[in-house]
Amino acid sequence: MDRYKIAPNSKVDLGQWDADDRSAFPIDKDEGRKQARTLTERLEELQELLYAQDKHKVLIVLQAMDTGGKDGVIRHVFEGVNPQGVKVANFKKPTGQELSRDYLWRVHQHVPGRGEIVIFNRSHYEDVLVVRVHNLVPQEVWSKRFDHINAFERMLTDEGVTMLKFFLHIGLAEQKQRLQARLDEPRKRWKFNPGDLEERKRWPDYMQAYEAVLSKTSTPWAPWYVIPANRKWYRNLVIGSIIVETLEKLEMQYPSLTFDADEIEIK
């Protein structure tokens, strides 16, 4: 999966990244879904082990344009995991209380504890994306945040957090189809927000902002992956593979028993 990882200090041009790519798994949708289910079963095992060992902490960041598939990843890749050990934090428009503090304050409260996987649905990166595109703060303010974020993530990893950051890369034409699908299907209309059309007009600005994020904040301790996300099954398969591979490298073990299980008789 290293083909999708952004090397530190790379200059990223998203125009060079194919949102339709499926080179890591040149298979059809049915086989892809089958393999994804196998990965999900393995992820369940690893997540239970992580929870039982109560040692490691895992933080997964999901960023994407509207309709990019963040909710779909959470729903499908993490299907069946123990909700005691997996949490989702959503970062929407900041509240007044949040705006009265530094921009990382609301984020830090949700980082994982020992034995936990936490998924950020959007994240602290909104403060170098949305604020930039909408000119909510001056450039001299948001431009300093890349260094802040790198230092913040370094602190987390120094404290035992394993970080994975995924940018779900879809094309402009694919977004149009997904937005239209929300309008066409009555059960999905609740997900449609007319404001998404205004954001869509800013697509070039967002691509430029994402390119800066990927270029400046993919580090050895907190790498970014650009995930081809036009095909939902492929997106899930790639992300599931990266997460499972990362967890397996932690070489986790169940905790040692303080008693001899063979000597216990339950009457």
User: How do residues 139-185 score in pLDDT, each as one tens digit?
Assistant: 999 999 999 999 999 999 999 999 999 999 999 999 999 999 999 99
Percent helix, strand, coil in the chain, to 5, is: 50, 10, 35
Listed by start position, the domains of the chain span 2-249
CA-wise closest residue to 210 among 1, 63, 98, 70: 63
Identify the pLDDT of residue 94.
Answer: 93
- Please report, rounded to a whole number, the percentage of residues in the chain having pLDDT higher than 70: 100
Quote the DSSP letter at residue 257: P
DSSP lists the bridge partners of residue 19 as: none
User: How do residues 27-62 score in pLDDT, each as one tens digit?
Assistant: 999 999 999 999 999 999 999 999 999 999 999 999
User: How do residues 66-94 score in pLDDT, each as one tens digit?
Assistant: 999 999 999 999 998 988 899 999 999 99
Phi/psi of residue 86, each to 5°?
-130, 125
Query: Is residue 16 within 8 Å of 213, Cβ to Cβ?
Result: no
Look at residue 168 and give its three-state secondary structure: strand
Burial label for 190, CB within 10 Å (0-12, 13-18, 19+), is: exposed
Q: Residue 259 above 90 pLDDT?
A: no
Identify the pLDDT of residue 95.
Answer: 94
* CATH number listed for the domain at residues 2-249: 3.40.50.300
Instruction: Identify the band that residue 261 occupies on the pLDDT scale cut at 50, 70 and 90.
Output: confident
User: If you average pLDDT over every residue of the chain, what do you get?
Assistant: 96
Q: State the pairing for strand pair 57-64/117-121.
A: parallel
| 219 vs 198: CA distance, rounded Å | 32
